[in-house]
Homo-oligomer: A and B are copies of this chain.
Amino acid sequence: MTRRTTIDPDSVVLNPQKFIQKERANSKIKVDQVNTFLESSPERRALTHTLIDQIVNDPVLKTDTDYYDATKLQEREVTAKKIARLASYMEHDIKTVRKHFRGTDLMEDLQANDPDKAAPLTNKDISIFDKRLSLVANIDPQLGTRVGVHLGLFGNCIKGNGTDEQIRYWLQERGATLMKGIYGCFAMTELGHGSNVAQLQTKAVYDKQTDAFIIDTPDLTATKWWIGGAAHSATHATVYARLIVEGKDYGVKTFVIPLRDPSTFQLLPGISIGDIGAKMGRDGIDNGWIQFRNVVIPREFMLSRFTKVIRSPDGSVTVKTEPQLDQISGYSALLSGRVNMVMDSFRFGSKFATIAVRYAVGRQQFAPKKGMSETQLIDYPLHQYRVLPQLCVPYLVSPVAFKLMDSYYSTLDELYKASSSADKAALITVSKKLKNLFIDSASLKATNTWLIATLIDELRQTCGGHGYSQYNGFGKGYDDWVVQCTWEGDNNVLSLTSAKSILKKFVDSATKGRFDAQLDVDSFSYLKPRYIGSVISGETKSSLQELGDYTEVWSITLVKLLAHIGTLVEKSRSIDSVSKLLVLVSKFHALRCMLKTYYEKLNSSSDSHISDEITRESLWNVYKLFSLYFIDKHSGEFQQFKIFTADQISRVVQPQLLALLPIVRRDCISLTDSFELPDAMLNAPIGYFDGDIYHNYFNEVCRNNPAEADGAGKPPYHAELSTMLDRGFEFDQKLGGAATTETLSKLNK
């Protein structure tokens, strides 16, 4: 180290470490307790840290700043290596769940598909791996997706639509769940259809003669498009295609179709595949397009839990379908993704909040007076306003993310149980639960992926130019993130869908007094007939005095907003005309869910795992700041729908908000440390734990950009530039020199 890489401790300038150390020394918050709160429970917290520790220290899986310099091909190669590495962790994780490391080879027994040797695979078996994958996705999102498509989309499509035998065959015997033998992709969207799944055009025509389906792409717009893993990795696809039997179109069903020979990776007959190429982010995923040219698959490859093509011994064919369940199952593959994206929102949000808060504390700019040391960014009220509410976002996401995940798994278990036992009553109950889960997950997925897109963007801007450096994570982080707002349900479409269901519940409750006390009591308690009445009559009023008020004000707003929408729809007879307001309903529903879940968790002595009062107090401030920030953001609606008056906004909401900022600021480093993200997970030197911003950043830049081969600062393409700079004059002989007066006069002769 020469002296130009040191920082003069006596200069008036910058020594960020001391500021961050000071914050740590002064904070009275119990970081341990907060992390347990954020990780849901001590057991889950322990698992999180074990897994993170393995991931960031694994020589193949760990991700350094050189990640930000990789080309598309390099990214894809590295991702493939990491997938192979994760495959061995998968075996390890299943054995860990089953506590089975000796005696017999569990994997061999599972693939034997013999219940006497090993019980069939369940969701529980891959619960550790699921969490591992969710954490990996936080470090290397494209890796997460590439495995997530195989297990979460391909796998869940089979689980949701296949018979027990089909599930066992494809996922266990053939090894797909073990990431063996089969690598799957999920061929739903087409070039011409994304959101409108029912209008997909790929055809699956049943051919009686061969007792097989002929899969065909009728025209260009029916080309399967955006299929993750199709370009280079997938050996099989679950394909959404129109079932056509004896000329009749039964709508879109799912089929397992082999694409490639797993050993040679050559495409099978009739399969055309191409690479979708460069994307805004996640270039490590080999998204592809697929066209089928009369590809033949046996009848048994149609996933047949809810729709069956039955061939009688006499050769006649019937189609048996359970439309209601069929529809539900159709979405269940996407449900897993949505639930996971809420968890991703927590983890991504905490990562970028950590980076930006540490930078804001360590960075100084402008002194109040000449000669005084410069002010830390975090001490500017505007900077507090830009950073601290964003820090609160992942705090408010965490409880709802865990709750949604738990509810997803328990509902899925119920569904499998009910559908395997063909218990009709149980099926009806579980299908209602699933519908509620659709509403919550759609609204939470859309709202949270938007919130985090905003968070990354706004926090990048708070880091100034250094936020634009790829090595500080925001650029790739944003590009990788924003696809979450579009895929597996476009956020606007999801918001409309969930809001329309909420509006229907509202109308049922308000006009007919209908309310399912058992099913709707949690997420939809603001839709109780009595509650709606009390809001409309003015009996229930908005205030911000008690902790519960910060949630309830959103319930009141939702009721008033829904009532306003109801009136407009009645007048216009068009639901489309209120769609802008419906998107708000979905947002407000999600914000309320987040606040309510957080409130209930923190309020519970058993669930919160917070025993320290100062810590609890600090977490209540986070809760209040989050609510106030979004009330202020939506002060237009809060005034328009008369939840607050202009004066209440000026005298209550905004002053409370401004007053909270310096209070939350006091604990901001502890609240950041409480995410307990190791540097290797942040992968952004301006945000590392030690706060040595400038050295860390400088060193990473130098490491990734060594001196050029021909001399420091001399580019391989220097000839392009020196030729230009050294060029002569146009009228020189070498260029013909025709235009001087002398030459021209010769030509004039």
Contact = CB atoms under 8 A, between A and B. Distances in A.
B7 A219 contact: yes
Interface in A679-716: 694-695, 697-698, 701-702, 704-705, 707-708, 711-716
A280 B465 contact: no
A281 interface: yes
A740 interface: yes
Contacts of A266: 711, 714
Contact of A273 (B73, B490, B712): B712
A324 interface: no
Contacts of A694: 191-192, 220-221
Contacts of A382: 492, 496, 576, 579-580, 583
Contact of A219 (B6, B69, B280, B650): B6
Contacts of A280: 460, 468-470, 474-476, 478-479
A289 B700 CA distance: 13
A366 B646 contact: no
A453 to B, nearest CB: 8
A226 B267 contact: no
Interface residues of A, number: 170
Interface string A186-197: 000101111110
A219 B10 CA distance: 11
A13 B293 contact: no
Interface stretch (A83-91, A120-128, A342-350): A83-91
Contacts of A727: 87, 180
Given A72-B69, A276-B701, A583-B382, A720 B80 contact: yes
A483 interface: yes
What is the oligomeric copy number?
2
A365 interface: yes
A219 B3 contact: yes
Interface string A376-415: 0000111001100000000000000000000000000000
B486 A479 contact: no
Given A218-B11, A636-B635, A279 B470 contact: yes
B265 A715 contact: yes
A517 interface: no
A25 interface: no
A712 B272 contact: yes
A76 interface: yes
Interface in A445-497: 453, 457, 460-461, 464-465, 467-471, 474-476, 478-479, 482-483, 485-487, 490-492, 496
A580 B649 contact: no
A744 B103 contact: yes
Output the residue of A83, A658, A711, A715 with the most chain B CB within 10 A.
A715
A267 B711 contact: yes
Contacts of A518: none
Output the residue of A73, A263, A718 with the most chain B CB within 10 A.
A718
Interface stretch (A159-167, A229-237, A332-340): A229-237
Contact of A715 (B232, B365, B650): B232
A318 interface: no
A291 interface: yes
A725 interface: yes
A467 to B, nearest CB: 7
A617 interface: no
B192 A13 contact: yes
Contacts of A381: 576-577, 579-580
Contacts of A485: 461
A155 to B, nearest CB: 15
Contacts of A277: 68-69, 469-471, 701, 704-705
Contacts of A276: 469, 701, 705
A83 B724 contact: yes
A304 interface: no
A572 to B, nearest CB: 10
Output the residue of A68, A278, A726, A727 with the most chain B CB within 10 A.
A278
A617 to B, nearest CB: 24
Contacts of A76: 715, 717
Interface stretch (A104-112, A352-360, A424-432): A104-112
Contacts of A491: 461
B461 A739 contact: no
Contacts of A721: 80, 83-84, 183, 232-233, 265
The 3 closest A-B pairs by CB, nearest first: A280-B475, A635-B636, A278-B470
6 contacts: A80-B717, A108-B731, A194-B465, A195-B464, A233-B715, A385-B580
